[in-house]
Amino acid sequence: MTDVVVVGAGVAGLAAAAALRRAGAACDVLEAAGRIGGRAWTENPAALGGEAFDHGASWLHAAERNPLAEIARAHGDGLSQSPAERLRRVMLDGRAATAEELGEYERAWERFTEVATARADREPDTSLADAVAELRGDPWTATIETFESTLIAAAPPEQFSVRDWRLNQLSGTNLNVAGGLGALVARRLLPAAGAVRLRTPVSRIGWGPRGVSVTTPSGTLSARACVVTVSTGVLAAGGIAFAPALPAAQQAAIAGLPMGLLTKVALRPADGGALGLPARSSLYRRVAAAGDPSISFSVFPGGSGILVGFIGATAAWELSRAGAAATEAFARAELSALLGARAEFTGAVATGWGADELLRGAYAYALPGHDGARAAMDAPVGPLVFAGEAWCTDGLAGTVGGAFLSGERAAAMALRLLGGYGPSTAAPAGQSEGP
Ligand SMILES: Cc1cc2nc3c(=O)[nH]c(=O)nc-3n(C[C@H](O)[C@H](O)[C@H](O)COP(=O)(O)OP(=O)(O)OC[C@H]3O[C@@H](n4cnc5c(N)ncnc54)[C@H](O)[C@@H]3O)c2cc1C
């Protein structure tokens, strides 16, 4: 019998475990994968010449209110600011947009924000696509929708709540972390979280007034409370069986927050200089319709030597089903079309979040009419407390900052559940490599 079992060692699980341990509660952190970090994961693949590559999160968005930015600064970690107005290179019919066209694009973006924000204030909630229907005649609307919905929220605009869009606008500074954001999470969050049992998938959680019993391949743990941090994709797919089943309101909230997909393809040009692209710029084309399969490239982000292409929503799911080779081929073909020439690359890496059964997508977005779903886990369900990016109600949903805040709030709820009994003796911190 322990005080709290934490399921999942992504940012939310690590933040929850650290807060529980600081308060003196004993907790067991169970992680199904062979590594910690979940969707915050840095690798240095040989295909990219050993460059740090974040498969998942790479930016600390809204740095002014992002708890991870605070942690990184406190430790003196290398942070670099992405230019507020990132240098853009928007292609129209195979040529770069002129300064005048870029001016029209800026004004179109302002109108888009105005119209969508005004619609978000009116009842009932609707989709982002519907909210900006009056702007359909503007040649830039589909490109802006692609950014605001398909790429940033990983959601098809016709299925994305305009209120959820407005509530989670990521304004402020974006920071890149030297050596990768996943590496920062491992370096700074794991030591405070303490022991994590890797390769320990939870298959069932029995719950009731006396606490929980958590089933894993290496045995069943009993605890007085349980913090569950798996994605809404895992919850919706029944990746963990709850006995009894979760109440209808929480099941409806999970269904209202499906997983979007964002796929990254990193390419290492044989001769970066020959491409003639400025570092920290972005390269993409104006699209005719928001659903058009398209890709937006970050050029040499954080001063690196790689290009990182982003593909979102429907196109990303289709390519995920087609496999990594098809995804890489799509990225190369799009880049060649954008550059008007065939570029040579020494290596490529495509991410695979859609096919990963422990994640089942990139992050959750609210369907129209389900903008309140994120608040469904603001209170415990018996001894269960849910945490993770999807359940963040601080305006940072979908991000590592939101996952962190949600994890800390879940720990506070779990501590209240432990009530007047007082925590049992805290387990010593440390890391365990297996069940
Ligand atoms: C391509 C991509 C780009 C992104 N870019 C950014 C960005 O630039 N900035 C940003 O802030 N955010 C970004 N994000 C989002 C960010 O990565 C996530 O919001 C955040 O990492 C989620 O953390 P979490 O703890 O909620 O969930 P997770 O990281 O998913 O943690 C949940 C953990 O639970 C584990 N698990 C699953 N099932 C079980 C089980 N049955 N038993 C035990 N463990 C289980 C999983 O393996 C996982 O480790 C991006 C995500 C992706 C995919």
For 25-35, what is each residue's pLDDT tens digit?
999 999 999 99
Q: How far is the CA of 133 from the centre of ligand 1 (A)?
A: 33
pLDDT score, position 204: 98
Pocket flag, ligand 1, residue 232 (CB < 6 Å): no
**From the centroid of its chain, how far is CA 76?**
24
Closest CA to 86 of 285, 398, 299, 400: 299
Task: Take atom 37 of ligand 1 and give the residue whose Cα is closest.
Answer: 358
pLDDT the model gives residue 85: 57
Tell me what pLDDT residue 277 has: 85
Q: Is the CB of 202 under 6 A from ligand 1?
A: yes
Residue 249 has pLDDT above 70, yes or no: yes
14 lines ligand 1 (CB under 6 A): no
Report helix angle 324-339 to 313-322, nearest 10. 130
Binding site membership of 360 for ligand 1 (Cβ less than 6 Å)? no
- Domain(s) labelled CATH 3.50.50.60 in the chain stretch across 2-40+183-257+364-421
Q: Is the CB of 319 under 6 A from ligand 1?
A: no
Q: What is the crossing angle of helices 67-74 and 181-188, to 10°?
A: 70
The DSSP H or E segment spanning 101 is helix 99-120
- Alpha-helical segments (H) within 140-247: 141-145, 162-167, 181-188, 190-193, 232-236
Pocket residue to mutate for ligand 1, from 41, 240, 363, most atoms within 8 A of Cβ = 363
Cβ-based neighbours of 61, under 8 Å, separated by 6 or more = 170, 172, 174, 396, 399, 401
Please indicate whether residue 301, judged by its CB atom, sits closer than 6 Å to ligand 1: no
- Which residues, 6+ apart, have CB-to-CB distance to 138 below 8 Å? 108, 111
- 249-253 CB contacts, 8 Å cutoff, 24+ apart: 249/376, 250/376, 250/377, 250/381, 250/386, 252/373, 252/376, 253/370, 253/373, 253/374, 253/376, 253/377
359 Cα–ligand 1 center, Å? 7
What are 304's two structure tokens? 């690196």
* Predicted local distance difference test score (pLDDT) of residue 435: 30
Measured from the Cα of 231, ligand 1's closest atom is: 30
Cα–Cα distance, 201 to 240 (Å, whole number):
9
Q: Is the pLDDT of residue 182 over 90?
A: yes
To the nearest whole number, what is the mean pLDDT of the chain?
Answer: 93
- pLDDT at 430 exceeding the cut of 50: no
Q: How confident is the model at residue 274 (pLDDT cuts 50, 70, 90)?
A: confident
pLDDT band of 171, cuts 50, 70, 90: confident
Which residues, listed in sequence order, are joined to residue 88 by a DSSP beta bridge?
Answer: 282
The confidence score (pLDDT) of residue 291 equals: 81
> Ligand 1, atom 11: nearest CA belongs to which residue?
399
Supply the residue whose CA is at minimum distance from atom 4 of ligand 1. 57
How far away, in angstroms, is 98 Cα from ligand 1 center?
A: 39
The reply to whether ligand 1 has any atom less than 6 angstroms from the CB of 10 is yes
pLDDT of 265 reads 98
> Which residues make Cβ contacts (< 8 Å) with residue 210, sequence separation at least 6?
none
CB of 269 shorter than 6 A to ligand 1: no
Residue 225 neighbours by CB under 8 Å, 6+ apart: 3, 4, 5, 211, 212, 380, 383, 384, 385, 414, 417, 418
Q: What's the token pair of residue 123?
A: 């009842």
Q: Which of the listed residues 59, 150, 230 should we mutate to test ligand 1's pocket, taking the one with most ligand atoms within 8 A of CB? A: 230
320 lines ligand 1 (CB under 6 A): no
The DSSP annotation for 168-186 comes to T---S--EEETT-HHHHHH
- How far does the centroid of ligand 1 lie from the alpha carbon of residue 10, in Å? 6
Class for domain 85-171+262-350, per CATH?
A: alpha beta
**Residue of the CA atom closest to atom 21 of ligand 1:** 39
Q: Are strands 175-177 and 95-96 parallel, antiparallel or unpaired?
A: unpaired
Average pLDDT over residues 129-137: 97
Closest C-alpha to ligand 1, atom 10: 399
- Indicate the SS3 state at residue 363: strand
Q: What is the pLDDT of residue 264?
A: 98
CB pairs under 8 A, 24+ apart, for 369-372? 369/124, 369/125, 369/161, 369/256, 370/125, 370/161, 370/164, 370/253, 370/256, 370/257, 371/125, 371/161, 371/163, 371/164, 371/167
pLDDT at residue 420 is higher than 50: no
Find out whether the beta carbon of 259 lies less than 6 Å from any atom of ligand 1. no
**9 CB near ligand 1 (under 6 Å):** yes
How far away, in angstroms, is 34 Cα from ligand 1 center?
A: 14
Q: Name the pLDDT band for 84 (thresholds 50, 70, 90).
A: low
Residue bearing tokens 């430790």: 75
pLDDT at 197: 98
- Note the pLDDT tens digit of each residue in 298-319: 998 888 899 999 999 999 999 9
User: Cα separation of 6 and 411, whole Å?
Assistant: 9
Task: Give the pLDDT confidence of 329-355 residue by residue, as tens digits.
Answer: 999 999 988 887 777 888 999 999 999
| Out of 42-51, 80-89, 397-406, least confident range | 80-89
- Shortest-distance Cα residue to atom 13 of ligand 1: 57
Pocket of ligand 1 contains residue 353 by CB under 6 Å = yes
164 contact partners, CB below 8 Å, separation of at least 6:
153, 365, 366, 370, 371, 374, 397
What's 10's DSSP letter?
B
Sheet holding 296-299, edge to edge: 95-96, 88-92, 281-285, 296-299, 307-312, 262-269, 345-350
CA distance 206 to 309: 42
148 close to 42: Cβ distance less than 8 angstroms:
no
Q: Does ligand 1 come within 6 angstroms of the Cβ of 405?
A: no
125-131-133 Cα angle (round to 5): 145
**Can you tell me the mean pLDDT for 141-151?**
96
Check: CB of residue 432 under 8 Å from CB of residue 421. no
pLDDT exceeds cutoff 80 at 428: no
Is residue 224 predicted with pLDDT exceeding 70?
yes
> Residue 88: what pLDDT?
81
- Domain 2-40+183-257+364-421 belongs in CATH node 3.50.50.60: yes
CB 401 within 8 A of CB 194: no
Question: Which protein residue has the closest C-alpha to ligand 1 atom 20?
Answer: 400
Task: Outline which parts of the chain fall under CATH 3.90.660.10.
Answer: 85-171+262-350
